[in-house]
Amino acid sequence: MAKVLILIFLALSIRANCTQLIEYCRKPPALFVFGDSFFDPGNNNYIKTTTLDQANFWPYGETYFKYPTGRFSDGRLISDFIAEHAKLPLIPPYLQPRDYDKVYCGANFASAGAGVLPETFQGAAVYKRGGRKFGFLNLGDLGCLPGLRISKPQNGSGCLEEASILAKLHNEALQNVLNKMKNHLKGFKYSLYDFNTFLRQILNHPSRYGFKEGEKACCGSGRYNGIFSCGGKRGVKEFELCKNPNEFIFWDSYHLTESVYKKMARQMWYGPSKGPYNLTQFFQCL
């Protein structure tokens, strides 16, 4: 049976025939992605929603694709780089019209805004369908997002403490839930990337990671470019756009640049995990 990683970001047992992978592994893997705007490759292009949950307009996508794909970044996302590490093609949006044979390599179901309602993802359902290898990342330091920093008083500095505390409490609960699932669900394996620690590290020491700007977003308006106006289609037409997104940690008020996502994916693939596995181990040939 083929190996499938489910990223929540996932490994269902299916028979696959990804010709690009035959030399890599006799039983080629597949990658299925669930998540929100951090992982949405353009699914929201195909549903009726507001521009708050869409990124199919300039300048989104300007760095790598040179056109807006629907990704909430200047280029590729974490899941795109994970696919690259796994020697998979880019995993397409599930709603994108295409040859459905390509689903054998995986599919991306992520949708911006999907995390708002608890009904939008029920992990137990994926396990019941055969999912066994799951990749997770915890919440970043929410209070440091430019879109939340501007909630502090005009003369205030630093991150919004209340939001940072909420992220910390969520991450503690997530770790406990995953440990319980590992003990109670036969064959359940997981990797948990510590996004919170990584984000705090690069925000505290941006130059150490190759960045020049750690507080202000590349695209947006207002203090820190924290007003979610990138592209001018979300109620505020005026916005500022930096010349070199690769020097910035934040692309817009709530999302990261391709450069940051690339570093995250590399750490998720090779680095230590707060769970028993990293992603490399999930894709090793049997």
Q: Which amino acids are annotated catalytic?
A: 37, 252, 255
Q: How far apart are CA 258 and CA 208, in angstroms?
A: 17
**What are the b/e assignments for 126-164, b being 16+ CB within 10 Å?**
bbeeebbbbbbbbbbbbbbbbbbbbebeeeeeebbeebb
273: which residues sit within 8 A by CB, 6+ positions away? 191, 192, 193, 194
Nearest of 73, 66, 71 to residue 33 by alpha carbon: 71
Work out the number of other CB atoms within 10 angstroms of the CB of residue 57: 15
Cβ proximity of 29 and 88 under 8 Å: yes
285: which residues sit within 8 A by CB, 6+ positions away? 24, 25, 26, 27
189: which residues sit within 8 A by CB, 6+ positions away? 11, 132, 133, 134, 182, 276, 277, 282
